[in-house]
Structure formats: structure tokens, C-alpha cells
Amino acid sequence: MLRSDICNMKNFLTFLFCLLTAYASAQLTAASYSIKNLDGNSPNLDFGTTFYGKNKIVFASSRRAPGVSNKKWDGNDQPFLDLYIGNVDAKGEITNIKPFSKSVNSKYHDAMVAFSPDLKYVYFTSNNYLDGELKSGNIKIFRATIGSNGHWKDIVTLPFNSDNYDTGHPSVSADGKKLYFISNMPGGYGDTDLYVVSINNEHYGAPVNLGPNINSKYKEYTPYVDGNVLYYSSNRPGGRGGLDIYMTKLDGSLEKPINLGKPMNSKGDDISFIINNETQSGYFSSNRRGGKGDDDIYSFIQETVNPICDQTVAGVFVDKLTKQPIPNVFVTLYDSKGNKIKKVETLADGTFNFALSCGETFSIDGFKEGYFENKKELTASHENGFENKITIDLEEREFIERNGVEMLNVKTITFELNKADLTKKSKDELTKVIRLMNKFPKMVLEFGAHTDSRGGDGYNLMLSQRRANETVRYLIELGADPRRITGKGYGETKLVNKCSNGVKCTELEHKQNKRTEFVVIRN
């Protein structure tokens, strides 16, 4: 049953649900933008911008230029589309425009390019034109290798192309592992749908349709991926006219894509949105009224926060003194008002991860028994998909209190099985005891060794005393004053839980009783 059908039912609770859903959807509106028509537009078609590194733009145009074929296309009586490159100046204008590559500009249409992050490969849309001949009327995506001199070579057709349908408008993810494109291949939802394939070196996976939350029975065009946000154009109903620019989440979690509204969209066709998420500026193309030609390129500045902008924080907790990672820290994420958002536990390597909303301030609190609590603030930028990295120090407490008794914050000293021999790990831990005794020269300690209830009572008492004696002997060997440290074996006489003789308990419960304690007698 559709949500619209449910909302027509005469039920107060259902009506209230629909009202709240509609209200929540209404809050998710696009950011605000300011736009500008570029001086470098021609009277002909100019569209389909792509970033080439940080300071250059590649786009398609049917302008007349020296060295480029002026053969006209019957569709609009303009020259065939070719690729051009220009520099981006401080005002966002594209300057010093020239043909991009003679090795790829064919005598037919060439447009809509995308580059791998390392600029090793370029993907471009062209007529089914290879080896100098037009093979069919379809458009296809081709890949070329960019040589050291900038020329494109080794042009190949991608394996999911077909003579029976179109593929085009490539867009590569920031990590270079996915290629997004449009196609009217069989099995889609409408005219042209958005698809994605995985990239593994020079191998490509099977095309995957992005689904009904993104695609419609109408045309979907010009995908562009910014982190987890997908921008694209569609002529679905509800827009301002023609093709409008929309944005949504790649995971399809939004029921409907968000129309970018005015001034990004018009009564004409608005396509080819790209954004630099560091500067919050970018370009799109439109054939709206008032331009210089057929399609024009417009620059824009995003003036408010993207409503579905997301970031992550990857953090690690480390010991303030040793700088070693701390596992099993309870980490809590709070919003700017102190409301708890999520709580996790650090992994064995001390790491944790949270999802964040862009442009908001958060605090991250870390707690672990035996350490002082520490909290850090973090303000997420407006850069979509950005991973914040943070390291938080926790200072270990020197003293802890258990059952009203003050003792040193030292890990339980361990011994060889049924013996009084110290393990190497425990010998390292006992150096901390020496350090604290040196720091507090008047402090007097009693080392207590405890066992669980398994085994005979007398045996446990004797074993624990041997272990206490060996520990004190080793500390004196390390330099401890024998007048300030004594040892006593308690066996199973001071259990901390119900696990006495004859009581069935888990291994973990027995382990709680197998403990050692440095009790502070005088400080």
C-alpha cells in the first residue's frame, strides 16, 4: 500500500503520522546558492563541466575553434561537440579556453568526461565511433590513458557498452573505486536511469541500477558524487520545468530526492552540477532564458549548509604517558546542547568511529575505569564526506578506591600456573609500583594476593602467601624500601562475589576473585 493511500484512511493516528512525516520532509530543503553566467560562454552549446585537478575545468562545446572540425550536426545546425579545457580564476571564471585533446576530439560528438583521482585515466562520452568509423547511433563511454605529455592514448570501449542501448555521462567516485553513469539499458525504471559499476584496476563489475528512490520513469541525467551525496538531473514531475537538478543520498535512504530550487533550477534544462566541497563553489549548465547561447555554463557559490551533508570522525584513545592505544574505552558522542547521540566502546587498537552532521559542534567523552575522564570538542566543517581524525589522551589514575579502600591503580599481578613465579608482563607492571613509591616517599603499602575458591582452602592460603612473598621480594630487588612494603596471602578468605566452595560459577566470575591489590596503609 502506498503512503498516499494510507494517508487517505480516516484514522486519527494514521493522519497524525502522515502529518508528521510531511512536516519532517518539508524541513529537508536545499541549500541557498548564488549563481553567475560565465564570460567564457559562446553563442553555441557550452555544458558538462568536470574538474581537472584543482585549477582547471574541462567541458563540452560546439563553439568554432581553430584546429577543430566545423562539420555541423543536423540536430541543431551547430558544429559537433568537442572537449575544451580552461583555467579557473579567483572569481570562478573559466579563462584561456582551448581544445583539450586532438587525440580524442572526433568528427562526431564528444562530451561528458570524468577523470580517475590520479588523473591516469579519462572517461568520456562519444558516439559509437571507433577506428575512424561511426558504428551505430548509440552513445558509449570510452576510457583513455592520459600520457605524460597530456595526450590521450589507448582508447577503449567499456565492457558494459552495447550497440542496443546508450551509456554516457560518466562520474568517478573520489576513491576511484566506482563509476556512475546513465543508460537506457533494459530493466530500468524509465527513459534513462543512473547506474554504478565497481572499478578494480582496469576491470569493471556488472552495472547496478541505483534503484527507485533515485531513478524514476522519466529521464535521469548527469550524475555527480560528492561523498555520500549524489547530485543529478531529472525531468520528473514536480520540478520547475525541463530537467532540474536534485540531490539525494547514495544509500537510497531518502524517500524522495531534494530539488535544489531557485536559482539553480529554471523553466529550462539545468544539468551537470559539480561542486568543490572545500570552497563550496562549483558549476552547472543551463539553457535558461537570458544566457549567451544555447546551453551556458554557470558558476555558483553554496551559501548555506547542504541539508544532507555528512561527515565521519575516526578517533583513537591513547595513554597520556606512554602514547599507547587504550582498548575498551567507553566513548560517548554529544551534540552542542549536551544530548547524548551515541555510545560505543573502543576496539583493541583504541579506535572508534562516529557519523557526524556537517556544520555542527560535538563533544566526545571517553571513560575507562582507572583513567581520568576526558572530553574534547569537534566542529564539523561544511565539506561533505570529510573524515575528521582525532586523538584523545587519557591520563591514568595513580590511585583508585574499591569498597572504601584506597589502593594503587595497578593491573592484577599474574603468576605461572600453581606457582609463585611472576610472569614477564607482571614484572613490567611492578616497575609502575616502584615509580609511584618514589613519587610518594611516605607511602606505605600492603600487597595482598587472593585466589578463587577452587582447590583446597589451605593450599590456596599457602599459594597466595608464597606469591605475596615473591612479589615483595622482587620489589625490594627493584629498589623498594622493605620498611614500606609488606605482603600477605589471603587465599579465598575475601571473595568479591558469591563463588565460594561448591557454588557453580563462570570462569569470568572466578577470575574476579583471582586478584592482587596494593592497599595504601599510609600516604
Q: What is d(CA 318, CA 420) in angstroms, rounded to the nearest whole number?
A: 32
Four-point Cα dihedral 497, 503, 504, 508, nearest 10: 20
Q: What is the pLDDT of residue 104?
A: 53
pLDDT digits (tens, 9 = 90+) for 274-291: 999 888 899 999 999 999
Task: Write down the number of H helices and E strands in the chain.
Answer: 5, 35
CA 484 from centre of chain: 54
Name the H helices within 171-272. none
The tens digit of pLDDT for each residue in 111-124 reads 788 999 999 999 98
Greater confidence, 243 or 133?
Answer: 243
Give Dmax (Cα) for the chain. Answer: 104
Domain ranges of the chain: 1-30, 31-302, 310-394, 399-522
Q: Model confidence over 440-467: pLDDT tens digits?
A: 999 999 999 999 999 999 999 999 999 9
**What is the domain class of 310-394 according to CATH?**
mainly beta
Q: State yes or no: pLDDT of 359 exceeds 80.
A: yes
**Per-residue cell: 144:** 583513455
What digits encode the pLDDT tens for the residues 456-503? 999 999 999 999 999 999 999 999 999 999 999 999 999 999 999 999
> In the structure, what pLDDT confidence band is assigned to residue 146 with cuts at 50, 70 and 90?
confident
C-alpha 303/C-alpha 493 separation (Å) is 70
pLDDT at residue 161, rounded to an integer:
94
The model carries a pTM of: 0.65
User: What is the band of 136 on the pLDDT scale with cuts at 50, 70, 90?
Assistant: low
Are the C-beta atoms of 270 and 319 separated by less than 8 Å? no
Of 6-15, 39-48, 114-123, 217-226, least confident by mean pLDDT is 6-15
Amino acid at 109: H
Average pLDDT over residues 157-173: 94
Place of cell 541500477: 209
Higher pLDDT, 399 or 382: 399
**pLDDT given for residue 67 in this prediction:** 52
For the chain, give the mean pLDDT: 87
CA atoms of 446 and 434, how far apart (whole Å): 14
Q: What is the pLDDT of residue 251?
A: 82
The proportion of the chain whose per-residue pLDDT surpasses 70, expressed as a percent, equals: 88
Distance (Å, whole) CA 298 – CA 283: 6
Distance CA 416, CA 153 (A): 68
Nearest to 283 by CA among 100, 51, 125: 51
Torsion of CA 473, 477, 483, 485, to 10 degrees: -50
Task: For 31-302, give the CATH class.
Answer: mainly beta
Per CATH, domain 399-522 is 2.40.170.20: no
